[in-house]
């Protein structure tokens, strides 16, 4: 367990975790899609596309934060990120039906997403560096609250939007003000420790890699593409949860509850998988969630009712787990010193998944009119993608074992 006595890092972890709760608004967009479409008159597909832009800019923010951490105070990066997110959400509330949809992509997608990425990466880096011997638990706690955000803000936003007192515009403004207040109240607590030279605890690593150096290693690409393939299923399925529910034996009104269940599972994975990685090994933990994702996605071809809920929860759990385990395995292989920048490079795989798979999978068409037939092909394809990711981690494990044997000899 983390030592709570005489450890200034505890304040950093608590403040960072609370901020992550607000930053997790990135996962609540599905609640706003229909109200935004109705209010502004843009097409549903264009409104949904906002989340793709936001996730891509989220990764760009992570990359930028990794570079800035060597030049600026962590608190200043978090302040900039939090205020950008608040400004993006508030600016969205000022839009009207007279402006084109790309205005929404700029305010909520680019400004908001980039701001979230800046703060998110910095908070995780601080958590790892304050607790080098308990990185799994510290990182898990930090990213847990980020995922838990949807459990709190999704139903809250939906209820506020439905009320005559608030509606969509006032709801966005209230959330923006809340994010701004939280950022101003907590940003100063986010600091890096004076001494961050502690070595990663696994794999006997001694070298601290720069981002340029990791790009020359085969391990980076195995990790990179495994993340890309792991996250694909969640990106495709999550935005359509409310539509999939009645197709799998659930009442259409259960859609919002299903979103909350996925949010809870997502949060649980963020906390459980990093801790599991400390017990069985990080690579083995990644392999486990890839296999579960493959099985869970394939099962969506036939399951209904309660089993459908279990399958969705499993996929969300594994997706959440990726957010907790990949920062750790990045530090294991490439060192803790430059983990912010190096994790940003790995997260480009996340961005590639956002850009590539929704378009590729969306093109799949069986030639039949039945929606169910099209969905089966998509689920099978996503299961195969996750299985390929598992194969990459198997290669990573084999390579590590061979390296260990050479070292012994």
pLDDT in tens, 88-133: 999 999 998 889 999 999 999 999 999 999 999 999 888 888 887 7
- Residue 182, CB-side half-sphere exposure with 13 Å CA sphere: 23
pLDDT band at 408 (very low <50, low <70, confident <90, very high): very low
* More confident: 295 or 140: 295
pLDDT at 366 over 50: no
Q: How far apart are CA 375 and CA 261, in angstroms?
A: 21
pLDDT at 370 over 60: no
CB 307 within 8 A of CB 299: yes
pLDDT band at 201 (very low <50, low <70, confident <90, very high): very low
pLDDT band at 355 (very low <50, low <70, confident <90, very high): confident
pTM above 0.85, yes or no: no
Q: Among 4-8, 53-57, 83-87, whose mean pLDDT is lowest?
A: 4-8
Q: How far apart are CA 329 and CA 303, in angstroms?
A: 33
* CA 82 from centroid of its chain's CA atoms: 17
What would you report as the CA-atom Rg of the chain, rounded to the nearest whole angstrom? 21
What proportion of the chain, given as a percentage, has pLDDT over 90? 45
Give the pLDDT score at 265.
Answer: 92
* CA 233 from centroid of its chain's CA atoms: 13
Distances (CA, A) of 30 to 23, 25, 408: 16, 10, 52
pLDDT at 368 over 60: no
Q: State the average pLDDT over residues 326-332.
A: 91
Angle made by CA atoms 23, 26, 27, in degrees to the nearest 5: 115
Q: How far apart are CA 53 and CA 47, in angstroms?
A: 11
Q: State the average pLDDT over residues 131-158.
A: 84
Q: State the average pLDDT over residues 304-325.
A: 93
Q: Phi and psi (nearest 5°) for 113?
A: -65, -45
Q: State the average pLDDT over residues 291-307.
A: 93
CB 318 within 8 A of CB 382: no
Highest mean pLDDT among 48-57, 175-184, 300-309: 175-184
Q: State the average pLDDT over residues 14-35.
A: 87
Angle made by CA atoms 358, 362, 365, in degrees to the nearest 5: 155
pLDDT at 194 over 60: no
Give the pLDDT score at 197.
Answer: 44
Give the pLDDT score at 120.
Answer: 93
CB 179 within 8 A of CB 22: yes
Domains along the sequence of the chain with CATH: 1-190 (1.20.1250.20), 200-409 (1.20.1250.20)
* More confident: 286 or 238: 286
Q: How far apart are CA 311 and CA 262, in angstroms?
A: 10
Three-state helix/strand/coil letters over the chain = CCCCCCCCHHHHHHHHHHHHHHHHHHHCHHHHHHHHHHHHCCCHHHHHHHHHHHHHHHHHHHHHHHHHCCCCCHHHHHHHHHHHHHHHHHHHHCCCCCCCCHHHHHHHHHHHHHHHHHHHHHHHHHHHHHCCCCHHHHHHHHHHHHHHHHHHHHHHHHHHHHCCCCHHHHHHHHHHHHHHHHHHHHHHHCCCCCCCCCCCCCCCCCCCCCHHHHCCCHHHHHHHHHHHHHHHHHHHHHHHHHHHHHHCCCCHHHHHHHHHHHHHHHHHHHHHHHHHHHHHCHHHHHHHHHHHHHHHHHHCCCCCHHHHHHHHHHHHHHHHHHHHHHHHHHHHHHCCCCHHHHHHHHCHHHHHHHHHHHHHHHCCCCCCCCHHHHHHHHHHHHHHHHHHHHHHHHHHHHHHHHHHHHHHC
pLDDT at 21 over 50: yes
pLDDT band at 200 (very low <50, low <70, confident <90, very high): very low
Q: State the average pLDDT over residues 354-373.
A: 63
Give the pLDDT score at 17.
Answer: 93
What proportion of the chain, given as a percentage, has pLDDT over 70? 90
CA-wise closest residue to 175 among 162, 160, 185, 191 = 160
Work out the angle between the directed axes of helices 9-23 and 135-162 (0-180°, nearest 10). Answer: 30
pLDDT at 83 over 70: yes
Tokens 């859609």 map to which residue? Answer: 255
Give the pLDDT score at 198.
Answer: 42
Cβ-Cβ contacts under 8 Å for 103 (sequence gap 6 or more): 95
Mean model confidence pLDDT for the chain: 85
């Amino acid at each position: 367990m983390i030592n709570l006595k005489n450890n200034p890092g505890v304040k950093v972890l608590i403040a960072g975790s609370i901020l992550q709760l607000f930053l997790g608004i990135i996962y609540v967009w599905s609640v706003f899609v229909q109200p935004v479409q109705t209010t502004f008159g843009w097409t549903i597909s264009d409104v949904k596309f906002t989340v793709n832009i936001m996730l891509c800019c989220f990764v760009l923010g992570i990359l930028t934060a990794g570079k800035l951490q060597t030049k600026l105070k962590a608190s200043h990066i978090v302040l900039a990120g939090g205020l950008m997110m608040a400004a993006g959400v508030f600016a969205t509330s000022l839009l009207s039906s007279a402006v084109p949809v790309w205005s929404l992509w700029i305010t909520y997608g680019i400004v908001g997403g980039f701001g979230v990425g800046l703060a998110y990466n910095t908070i995780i880096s601080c958590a790892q560096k304050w607790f080098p011997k308990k990185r799994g638990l510290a990182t898990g706690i930090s990213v847990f609250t980020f995922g838990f955000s949807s459990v709190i803000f999704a139903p809250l936003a939906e209820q506020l939007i439905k009320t005559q007192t608030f509606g969509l515009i006032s709801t966005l403004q209230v959330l923006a003000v809340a994010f701004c207040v939280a950022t101003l109240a907590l940003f100063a607590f986010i600091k890096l420790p004076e001494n961050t030279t502690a070595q990663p605890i696994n794999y006997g690593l001694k070298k601290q890699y720069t981002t340029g150096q990791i790009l020359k290693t085969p391990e980076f690409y195995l990790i990179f593409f495994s993340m890309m393939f792991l996250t694909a299923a969640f990106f495709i399925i999550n935005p359509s949860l409310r539509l999939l529910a009645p197709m799998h034996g659930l009442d259409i009104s259960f859609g919002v509850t299903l979103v909350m269940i996925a949010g809870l599972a997502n949060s649980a994975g963020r906390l459980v998988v990093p801790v599991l990685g400390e017990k069985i090994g990080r690579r083995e933990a990644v392999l486990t969630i890839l296999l579960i994702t493959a099985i869970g996605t394939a099962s969506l071809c036939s399951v209904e009712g309660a089993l459908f809920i279990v399958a969705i929860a499993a996929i969300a759990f594994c997706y959440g787990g990726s957010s907790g385990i990949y920062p750790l395995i990045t530090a294991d292989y490439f060192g803790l010193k430059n983990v912010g920048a190096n994790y940003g490079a790995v997260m480009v795989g996340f961005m590639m998944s956002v850009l590539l798979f929704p378009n590729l999978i969306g093109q799949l068409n069986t030639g039949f009119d039945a929606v169910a037939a099209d969905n089966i092909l998509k689920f099978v394809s996503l299961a195969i993608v996750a299985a390929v990711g598992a194969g990459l981690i198997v290669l990573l494990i084999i390579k590590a074992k061979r390296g260990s044997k050479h070292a012994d000899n």
